[in-house]
Amino acid sequence: MSYVVHLVGSDDPKPFKHFGARVDAATYANERAGSGEVDRADIYLVPDAKDAVAAVAAVQMGAAKLVESRSPRASEAEIEAAHMREWESAVKLGTHAVLKFLGLPKRHSNS
């Protein structure tokens, strides 16, 4: 089990960061969201991926569970509930919707 933090609204070229423990992911998300440099920091639980590449890929494919959202604005509970609903809806709609939710371009098939 591992965690991935996705920085939404960040200029960071690598908006995903992998952690082995939820407390570390939460600390990082709090720091980044609290800095005001990001719109929010979403924390995903990835049950089956141990390494960073597999964990980030699991998030991008919708195979992770959104467990928390941190934001420098508004009520954390309201933001988290809204993002949980949006994430669950995107997962139900498939990979394209998940990538759109994450703000990533649609993947193109090489075949």
Q: What is the pLDDT of residues 40-62, one digit of tens each?
A: 899 999 998 879 999 999 999 99
pLDDT for the residue 111 = 41
Arithmetic mean of pLDDT, 13-34:
94
Residue 109 scores a pLDDT above 60: no
Arithmetic mean of pLDDT, 81-92:
88
Dihedral angle, C-alpha 11, 103, 52, 26, nearest 10 °: 70
pLDDT for the residue 84 = 87
**Residue labelled with tokens 């609204």:** 9
Q: Are 3 and 56 in contact (CB under 8 A)?
A: no
Q: Are 68 and 43 in contact (CB under 8 A)?
A: yes
52/55 Cα distance (integer angstroms): 5
Instruction: Report how far apart the first and last C-alpha atoms of the chain are (Å, whole number).
Output: 33
Decide: residue 3, CB within 10 A, 0-12 exposed, 13-18 middle, 19+ buried: buried
3-state secondary structure of 42: strand
